[in-house]
Every structure is written in C-alpha cells, then in structure tokens.
Amino acid sequence: MNIDNFVGLYRLESQENFDALLVELGLTRISRKVLMMMKPTMEVKVEGDQWTVIHDAPIQNIVWKFQLGKEVTIRGVKGKALAIFTTEDTNKLVMNPGPSAKPGSGCRFVRTFTPNGHTVKIEHIASGVVSTKYYKRCEMEQ
C-alpha cells in the first residue's frame, strides 16, 4: 500500500443523490438544504497506524480517527456515535459498520482514490440508497 495515494487535501466538486441519503439519515429539510449547498474539504492524514479523516465545512467539522482492521467509534453527521471497521484494498478505503453495530444499520463508505482526487460512494444499508461524492485533490496550504 502506498500511503501517498491516500494522504492529501480534497475539495468537494459535485455529488449525486446526496439529498436522498440525508432523508434516510433523518435530517430535516433545512439541515439537508444547508448540507447540499456546502463545498467542504476533506483531509486524509496517516501517522504510523493511525489514520485521520477531517471533514471541514463552514458549520461543522467532523474528525474520524481509526486504524485499519480495528473497530472504532466515530461521530456521524448528526453527532451520533457510529461503530465502523475500516479496511484498505489497493486504492480504496472501505468503511463498514463495525461488528458491534446493529445488523442492517448505518452506512457503508467506499472511498476510491486517484492521483487527481477521490470518489466516495455512501450506501445507506437499511434502504439501499446510494450517494456518490466527487472530490478533487488540491494543494496543501503551508
């Protein structure tokens, strides 16, 4: 695995079916509209075995810290605690609900990285609704 394929700063360029996903997650109409208008950045960092994914948006920052192959608890978009289990496959990070999560609940995230950016497919497991977000790699500020 080449960590450099993952590490970096990314800016959201576009998204598909995101509103439908937010409906399934139980967000209000106003919350959905605000989230749909934002163009957040996402930064991926790796220090040793510790991965950090930082979602930076004007009204909310979300930081996920995890190790590959270990279940951890993160905070979702509504602040709810979520158990996830993350694996790596070539140029992908796959985040599934962890073994302790309620069966059939949560979301599955598949992040596919390229030299120019990455794509995130988010599947709401209970409903099968899938949203795709497209991020472009951008220069890190010094």
**pLDDT (tens digit per residue) in 16-64:** 999 999 999 899 999 899 989 989 999 999 999 999 999 998 877 889 9
Residue 142: per-residue pLDDT: 47
Cα 16 from Cα 21, distance rounded (Å): 10
pLDDT digits (tens, 9 = 90+) for 76-92: 767 778 889 999 988 99
Q: How many residues does the chain have?
A: 142
State percent of the chain over pLDDT 70: 96
Full domain range(s) for residue 73 = 3-137
φ, ψ of residue 98 to 5 degrees: the values are: -70, 165
Structural domain count, the chain: 1
Evaluate whether residue 142 is within a structural domain.
Answer: no
9: CATH: 2.40.128.20
- If one compares 99 and 115, the residue with the highest pLDDT of the two is 115
The answer as to whether 126 is a domain residue is yes
Give domain status of residue 108, yes or no: yes
